[in-house]
Amino acid sequence: MQATRLIAIRHGETAWNVDSRIQGHLDIPLNEVGHWQARQVAHALAAEPITAIYASDLQRAQATAQALADVTGAPLTPEPGLRERCFGHMEGRTFAEVEVSHPEQARRWRQRDPHFAADGGESLLQLRERIAATTNRLAQQHLGGLVVLVAHGGVMDILYRLATGQDLQAPRTWMLTNAAINRLLWTPEGLTLVGWADTQHLDANNTRDESTV
């Protein structure tokens, strides 16, 4: 059977994650915690036989992926197709701010209207099409290998839905933790979920070494 193993990782934490501010395509860097998370996930995967690493070209994903590339020696390639959903005019704001300024758009976003796109942004349907096409293309290039995809929360959400058959409007019951390890299997028939939201490398026993931040 033609198959490619995938590890999908959401980038490490940013200051805007902490503030619940919409990042989208804005190029926000990792914060101190995010850099630590990137190192932790890199060490957790150090022994994996990784064929290739692809990461969104936004710096929060690139920095997370670079930590993994440094430890494993696997080649890292920027992949714009793995960018976060574009939220157009909403980017840079909190959801509370959007509710005040654009209540109807906020309602459609909250209800996960698959056709809704903020001015200048993407709909969930467009995001799913982009992520499915990108994942299929990359997996086909590395049949039999282990490929790491470093991306964003919205991308992780779409990958989970593709692997489990969840509708775009289905309520989210799964975690999208920064720097968690998510495992999937790709075949020409589609994605299958292998494991999700492994955060053992981020638990309280892995004390942050402030001297290396």
Kindly report, residue by residue over 19-28, the tens digit of the pLDDT: 999 999 999 9
**84 catalytic per annotation:** yes
Range of the domain at 43: 4-87+122-212
Angle between helices 32-44 and 59-72 (to 10 degrees): 40
pLDDT at 206: 62
Token pair of 188 as six digits: 């020409």
Residue 23 within a domain: yes
Q: What is the DSSP string of the chain?
A: ---EEEEEEEPPPBHHHHTTB--TTS-PPB-HHHHHHHHHHHHHTTTS---EEEE-SSHHHHHHHHHHHHHH---EEE-GGGPPPP-GGGTTSBHHHHHHH-HHHHHHHHTT-TT---TT---HHHHHHHHHHHHHHHHHHTTTSEEEEEE-HHHHHHHHHHHHT--TTSPP-S---TT-EEEEEEETTEEEEEEEEE-GGGSTTS---GGG-
pLDDT per residue as tens, the chain (213 positions): 699 999 999 999 999 999 999 999 999 999 999 999 999 999 999 999 999 999 999 999 999 999 999 999 999 999 999 999 999 999 999 999 999 999 999 999 999 999 999 999 999 999 999 999 999 999 999 999 999 999 999 999 999 999 999 999 999 999 999 999 999 999 999 999 999 999 999 996 665 543 333
For residues 52 and 74, the answer to whether their CB atoms sit within 8 Å is: yes
**25 catalytic per annotation:** no
Residue 152 within a domain: yes
Residue 72 within a domain: yes
pLDDT at 148: 99
Residue 96 within a domain: no
Residue 97 within a domain: no
Pairing assessment for the beta strands 146-151 and 4-10 based on DSSP bridges: parallel
List the catalytic residue out of 25, 35, 79, 84: 84
Token pair of 93 as six digits: 């704001």
Residue 101 within a domain: no
Q: What is the CATH number of the domain that holds 204?
A: 3.40.50.1240
- Tell me how many domains the chain contains: 1
Q: What are phi and psi of 4, to 5 degrees?
A: -135, 130
Residue 95 within a domain: no
> CB within 8 A of 119, min separation 6: which ones?
88, 89
For residues 150 and 34, the answer to whether their CB atoms sit within 8 Å is: no
pLDDT at 212: 32
pLDDT at 1: 67
Count CB-CB contacts under 10 A for residue 16: 18
Token pair of 64 as six digits: 């997370």
Residue 8 within a domain: yes
